[in-house]
Amino acid sequence: MGTVYWITGLSGAGKTTIGKMLYEKIRAKYPNTVFLDGDMLRKVFGEDLGYSMEDRKKCAMRYSRLCAMLQEQGMNVICCTISMFDSVRDWNRQNIQNYKEIYVKVSMKTLRRRDQKGLYSGITTEKEKEVVGVHMNIEEPKCPDLILENDGERTLEEQVEKILEGDLGIPMLGNS
């Protein structure tokens, strides 16, 4: 049976970067591992939803249902998504076996400094004007399985090792 690693946090927190390295490490030993990213999934689903709170929640539920389906088929799923809704995470916990929630937490100061997509400096496209954490309130995870503080104090490798060493149900990669 697979495991879902739901990596959540605000845009620019480092979810995708951490998730990709985690994917590479787990997939090296367990080929039944897939990597999903919120931006990538929006394209896969046809970009038919906008960025309103309602559309974001619908989008997040699509990701949740997809993760549940893949996990039921024995896949390990690493899903990197903002999805900052208690109701979505509650659904995941109730409907996905082996669900592991990892919250990548970053200060607003760090997010503004990184600002890879121009979201925090106000240089955004019309469809992205409502930025989660700036224009829209977030529902910060209340009981994630792991919180990664990602303000630059730890390297990428250290962050991924923290996940691998944590008690998240990941079989130790050095053991058979």
Q: What is the DSSP letter of 80?
A: E
Q: Is 83 a catalytic residue?
A: yes
Specify the 3-state DSSP secondary structure of 65: helix
- Structure token digits, residue 135: 């224009």
The residues near 38 (Cβ < 8 Å, ≥ 6 apart) are 59, 63, 80, 81, 82, 83
* Dist. CA 127–CA 125, nearest whole Å: 6
Cα-based distances in Å from 124 to 121, 130, 149: 8, 9, 26
Q: Which of 83, 87, 107, 176 is catalytic?
A: 83
Task: Please choose, from the candidates 91, 116, 117, 110, the residue with its C-alpha nearest in 3D space to the C-alpha of residue 152.
Answer: 110
The answer to whether 119 touches 130, Cβ cutoff 8 Å, is: no
**32 bridge partner residues:** none
Specify the 3-state DSSP secondary structure of 37: strand
- Helices then strands, counting H and E runs in the chain, come out as 6, 5
Active site residues: 83
